[in-house]
Amino acid sequence: MPDTILNQPWFLPALLALGIALGIALGIALGVWLAGRVRRFWMRRRLARQWNRARRGEEQARPWLERHGFTVLAEQVHQASCLVIDGEESPFTVRADYLVERHGVRAVVEVKTGAVADPSSRATRRQILEYAWVYGVSEVYLFDADAERLHRIGVPTGPGAAAPAPWTPWPAIVAFAIGAILGAVSVWWFLQSASS
């Protein structure tokens, strides 16, 4: 039987077609594997460059902050918090680049490079709001390491709230004065009615 298949006129072209098909399939598989390896290599290289750039940005931020009157209290500050999901606590930890203080006010500084150094970047905006909430600060600074520029970002105290107004003593002084006047009038009225 094998002799009859080998002698068939279609056998050689079929064998050749099968060899070509296997060669193409093997070539495609090898090409996909090689492309994946090259892609992973370039991704690792790009991420390493981004990480090095970010690390350099963080290193240049500290002396810049100190030159501009900030006291660096801590670096790479981890802060634990949690969300309550369906009644169950779900803990998480955030890490800010710097916890600083200037003029008695504590704040968090996040260092960014590239496109995410823009305060209007969606991911950066969300990170800033998370830091303000978790660290309990009303101000977060965003340091653009590429431009060596510090953005001061005020954060509202609640969802949809306006940024807190600076405290002024005048309402308290006025309230105290009105209270003192009303108290004096009440005492005077009481003394007048007691003497009559």
The 10s digit of each residue's pLDDT in 66-85 is 998 999 998 888 888 888 88
**CA nearest to 97, candidates 49, 46, 150:** 150
Question: What CA–CA distance (Å, rounded) separates 5 from 83?
Answer: 72
- Would the pLDDT of 192 be above 60? yes
Q: Could you tell me if 147 and 117 are in contact, meaning their C-beta atoms sit under 8 angstroms apart?
A: yes
Cα gap 106→135, rounded to integer Å: 10
Task: Write the pLDDT tens digit of every residue in 34-69.
Answer: 788 888 888 887 777 766 666 776 778 888 889 989
- At 45, phi and psi to the nearest 5? -65, -45
E strands, the chain, in order: 71-85, 88-102, 105-112, 139-144, 149-154
Q: Is the pLDDT of residue 158 over 60?
A: no
Q: Which amino acid is at 100?
A: V
Q: What's the pLDDT tens digit per position in 85-123? A: 898 889 989 898 999 999 888 889 988 888 777 888 888
CB 135 within 8 A of CB 105: no
Task: Please name each of the domains of the chain with its CATH number.
Answer: 61-166 (3.90.320.10)
pLDDT level of residue 188 (50, 70, 90 thresholds):
low
